Chain A
Amino acid sequence: MLSLTLRILLVLMSILTFIYMIRKLRKEQLQTLDMLFWTLFAMTILIMSLFPEFVVACTDYIGVQSSVNFVYLVIFFFLIIRIFLLNVRVSKLETKLNEYVINMAVKSCDEKEHKNE
């Protein structure tokens, strides 16, 4: 069973996450695709806190010992996906950055040689 305190905490968490994201979006520090993910996350937390019967049902079905653990499970799941996706993006960025630096360096070397001729 989810305690009232926990449910209130989850609602707060959901709302605060959403407000924080909106601020970041307006400051151009967050992009549309990321907004989608965090919105889904906030919505899921909100739904879990507003419909604890649903959480209890899932807990019993899966065989997790306590409902709170199921909430944790869901949050971990989101975090793991997020970390993986960030990993992919960072790898792409690293590759792009390296290629760009190499390209610029080689170009500027050519320019220097042209100046010397």
Chain B
Amino acid sequence: MNRTEFMSQLKENLSNLPVEERENAISYYTEYLDDAVAGNLNENSNTSIEEERIIRELGSPSKIASQIIGNYAVSDIATSPKSAKKGLSTLWIVILAIFASPIALPIAFGAVALAFALIVTIFSFIFAFALVAAACIASGGFVIIVGFRILLTSFDFATFFLFVGGGLITIAIGIIFGWLTMFLTKKSLSLMAQLLGKFLLRRNLA
């Protein structure tokens, strides 16, 4: 990789950082390369050969960038004041930092996949409850209507009470399921928000 490629890749990988941070990093590595080349030149080599060798020693620009981003995210969380917009961009940088560490990457993928699976499961449950609620209320109502029809056509009070009673019980069950759906939705949303907060916090201290 030559110097231009290295620098432009590094710049690109750092594009999510604030301008000052990015410029600072670019200056550092520009100067590093200049000093390294100057310190190593002899009559057997030329500038571009030395540059390529030193760039190879430095490693991949994306790995270097991840170190810089991770470091920035951790220190920024600790020191910056909380404004909503800044909080959002900081959150984004933290999420990038979670994925930035080469060691944590497989773990991060696993964690995200697990979290996703859990969320899908919880919402399937909630959806099922909602369906049961709807079904109960609908069929309960239908049964009551049928009960009235029977009353009006055959004046069979016994059957009428049977149907209306059964229908009301079913509706009641539906309402209970409906309430459970609301309750579960609220609980799981707040739990997820809490866990996400704890997870991000723990990552910052690590």
Q: Is the A/B pair a real complex?
A: no
